[in-house]
Structure 1
Amino acid sequence: MLRQYGQLAIGSKDGATEAEMRAYTIKAHGTTVAKKHIRDWLIFLVLVGIEVGLNVISPFYRFVGKDMMTDLKYPLKPNTVPVWAVPIYAVVLPVIIFNVRYFRRRDVHDLHHAILGLLYSVLITGVITDAIKDAVGRPRPDFFWRCFPDGQDFYDDLGDVICHGDPGVIKEGHKSFPSGHTSCNSRSVPTGSFAGLGFLSLYLSGKIQAFDRRGHAAKLCLVLLPLLAAALVGVSRVDDYWHHWQDVFAGGLIGLTVAFLCYLQFFPPPHRTKGWGPYSYFRALEEDTQAERRMDASNTDVEAPAATGHADHRDHPSSAHGNVADKDHSLLSFMHGKEDHKVDMVR
């Protein structure tokens, strides 16, 4: 049975499906898998600290003149997609799907790497977008009402704005480019949407073999559904006047790129034959196969000498010749003894 697994692990073309392969459960292998990636989790915690720091510091307060306010006087509106909803659909929903997959397949490698890859995708995207946000400091389309909530605008001698609104609202008003989910205090969500849902789209495409060249349009629709949801979230950010369209475009591009790179760290490209499973699963399968082959070879080596020795003792010609010689020697000794006895009687 294990030899069959080994052939599948090294790329046999016998038409076997993944359901015929070995299961690696959380109870039996979860601790081992987690220990192998302890450094990845430590780096993840470091990135969390960096992300928190990027949200604490103030962004660059770009010069905003009176003539620029024409494009920054859009009304200040609430979010169509609440901030609290972002981690639910971009992180929690994919994790639920990963767990459903685990209970069907029983592969802790797939579950662990899917969760780790997803978290890295969202977090790295957040770090990149927040770093750019703080460095660029582009004002949002509704910046005028953030800066002058009463509608009375003031400018210094150089023509730059003198804001008298809420400091936190003004600070957030300088984080337009690029659009992206950053933290619980963030008001920009599209990049997080593309990072989380983009990773989910890649995951689904690998699991259902969407690119198996069989022309099933239903698979493609399922793969594109998360991307459509992310795109609609991005459109809502423009409709709410929280972002310029360039912000959403750049944020979506960053999110998709990071999601693709993070996915390839743990999974083969979805279009490959084995794109449904993580790299570590096939490595573990091959290691187990080789270990059992060595064990089988060792058992064979132990049994072979005993069987061979028994056969030699029974069938080897030299053994038969030795037995005949022993019988002849005994007969000669007996006859010689009888002759000696006769001589003694004559005497």
Structure 2
Amino acid sequence: MSRVGYAAGTASPLTRQGEVTGTMSRIYQRSYPVLDTIALACIVGFWVLIQLFVTPFHRMFSLDNKAIQFPFAVVERVPVVWSIVYAGVIPFLVLLVWAATYRPTPHKVQVTLLGFLIAVMLTSLITDIIKNSVGRPRPDLISRCMPKKGTSAESLVAWTVCTQTSEHILQEGWRSFPSGHSSFSFAGLGYLTLFLCGQMRIFRPRTDLCRGLVAFVPLLCALMIAISRLDDYRHDVYDVTCGSILGFLVAQFSYRRYFPPLRSATCDEPYGRDEISGSEGFSKLADDEEQQIFGHGSTSRQWESREESYALAETTSPRAR
């Protein structure tokens, strides 16, 4: 059978496969925020399950360890609720005010808020997974634990020597690494900093310093929240540093999924729906022979153009003579 007849016949299996993958790619381009929302709901669900059913690993400790002999602060400088307000609620309200003031496209508002929520919830999930797996004692563990009288001070002891009646206070004593306040604050406020940097284009040449200072105010607030954990003896420098890095890395990951780099000329605009994947979607790349025989319509047009040019050459040759 000639190649022309093959191309003009019924669609080959490879062609049908390319059409299916192209259709699936177009559907994904139109619905990827919905899929990300479903993934966000799964992240929230796993985080809730960890809060309800998971207890941390209890590392053994000794009573003469000075690193865990700090007093237990009953009143925290930044309680958990206020950390959520400072690093979660306030940045979200700032983004809502920005959306109401500047009236951007619905797509831009959608991916901006979605990226923020993914940053804070994914950071919270990763932080709690690490906390419960590592089980590192807090600097105020002995004050929390209230060990039994007569417990040996030189040898390693287990958590069963504790007489603390509050289960929450006791279990939190083994959730020191990494700092949850630090990771959450650098995720929420760090994302807000990245967003402000992009919208004000602070890395554009000859940008005034005032824009940069405004953009970095949230990051300074996140730093102050992280330092408060040292003042309350809830964490040490190692916990706070690792938590801060973790939160900002997740914020950067979430922001860059929807927005171009900050040095880009279009850093203030998110990726369009047609830029999520190629127009052809994900499919197997055909070799040269398959491309000629089973191409996506363009090959058949090439064969047709060859036929037309050949017929034109025959008709014009008598006139040339």
Whether the aligned pair in 1 keeps the contact of 2:260 and 2:267 (CA below 8 Å) is yes
Name 1:232's counterpart in structure 2.
224
How does 1:53-68 map onto structure 2 within 5 Å? 53-55=49-51, 56-68=53-65
Name 2:33's counterpart in structure 1.
37
Note the alpha carbon deviations across 1:290-332, whole angstroms, 9 max, x for none.
xxxxxxxxxxxxxxxxxxxxxxxxxxxxxxxxxxxxxxxxxxx
Whether 2:46 is the aligned partner of 1:50: answer yes
Name 1:255's counterpart in structure 2.
247
CA drift of 1:269 comes to: 1.2
How does 1:301-316 map onto structure 2 within 5 Å? none
Whether the aligned pair in 1 keeps the contact of 2:83 and 2:225 (CA below 8 Å) is no
Moved beyond 3 Å, runs of 4+: 33-36, 155-159, 281-284
CA drift of 1:101 comes to: 2.2
CA drift of 1:154 comes to: 2.7
Q: Distance in 2 between matches of 1:34 and 1:89?
A: 34
Name 1:174's counterpart in structure 2.
174
Match for residue 126 of structure 1 among 120, 124, 127: 124
- How many pairs are equivalent? 244
Whether 2:85 is the aligned partner of 1:88: answer yes
Q: Alignment identity in percent?
A: 33
Rg larger for: 1
AA aligned to 1:137 is: G
Whether the aligned pair in 2 keeps the contact of 1:102 and 1:108 (CA below 8 Å) is no
Q: Distance in 1 between matches of 2:103 and 2:126?
A: 34
Q: Distance in 1 between matches of 2:63 and 2:30?
A: 56
CA drift of 1:124 comes to: 1.1
Whether the aligned pair in 1 keeps the contact of 2:187 and 2:250 (CA below 8 Å) is yes
Note the alpha carbon deviations across 1:36-59, whole angstroms, 9 max, x for none.
422111111111121122223110
Q: Distance in 2 between matches of 1:35 and 1:190?
A: 33
Which sits farther off after the overlay, 231-240 or 153-162? 153-162
Whether the aligned pair in 2 keeps the contact of 1:154 and 1:163 (CA below 8 Å) is no
Note the alpha carbon deviations across 1:112-163, whole angstroms, 9 max, x for none.
11111111111111111111111110111111111008x8463599630411
Q: Distance in 2 between matches of 1:242 and 1:209?
A: 37
**Aligned in 2, Cα 1:229/1:95: closer, same or farther, shift over 3 Å?**
same
CA drift of 1:167 comes to: 2.3
Q: Distance in 2 between matches of 1:222 and 1:152?
A: 54
Name 1:72's counterpart in structure 2.
68
What value does the CA root-mean-square deviation take over the aligned residues? 2.5
Name 1:15's counterpart in structure 2.
none
Whether the aligned pair in 2 keeps the contact of 1:238 and 1:244 (CA below 8 Å) is yes
**Aligned in 2, Cα 1:128/1:80: closer, same or farther, shift over 3 Å?**
same
Q: Which runs of 5+ in 1 are unaligned?
A: 1-32, 181-188, 288-347
**Aligned in 2, Cα 1:34/1:170: closer, same or farther, shift over 3 Å?**
farther
Matched position secondary structure for 2:233: coil
Q: Distance in 2 between matches of 1:126 and 1:239?
A: 22
Q: Distance in 2 between matches of 1:34 and 1:66?
A: 59
Q: Which runs of 5+ in 2 are unaligned?
A: 1-28, 280-321
Note the alpha carbon deviations across 1:101-120, whole angstroms, 9 max, x for none.
22213321221111111111
Name 2:185's counterpart in structure 1.
193
AA aligned to 1:89 is: Y
Which sits farther off after the overlay, 77-86 or 250-259? 77-86
Matched position secondary structure for 1:61: coil
Whether the aligned pair in 2 keeps the contact of 1:102 and 1:110 (CA below 8 Å) is no
Q: Distance in 2 between matches of 1:85 and 1:34?
A: 37
Whether the aligned pair in 1 keeps the contact of 2:135 and 2:177 (CA below 8 Å) is yes
Matched position secondary structure for 1:66: coil
Whether the aligned pair in 1 keeps the contact of 2:183 and 2:243 (CA below 8 Å) is yes
How does 1:326-345 map onto structure 2 within 5 Å? none
AA aligned to 1:268 is: P
Q: State the TM-score, normalizing by the size of structure 1.
A: 0.66
Match for residue 110 of structure 1 among 88, 103, 108: 108
Match for residue 200 of structure 2 among 185, 193, 208: 208
Matched position secondary structure for 1:205: helix
Whether the aligned pair in 1 keeps the contact of 2:64 and 2:153 (CA below 8 Å) is no
Q: Distance in 2 between matches of 1:216 and 1:282?
A: 34
Whether the aligned pair in 2 keeps the contact of 1:110 and 1:281 (CA below 8 Å) is no
CA drift of 1:87 comes to: 2.2
**Aligned in 2, Cα 1:172/1:44: closer, same or farther, shift over 3 Å?**
same
Q: Distance in 2 between matches of 1:34 and 1:147?
A: 54
AA aligned to 1:280 is: G
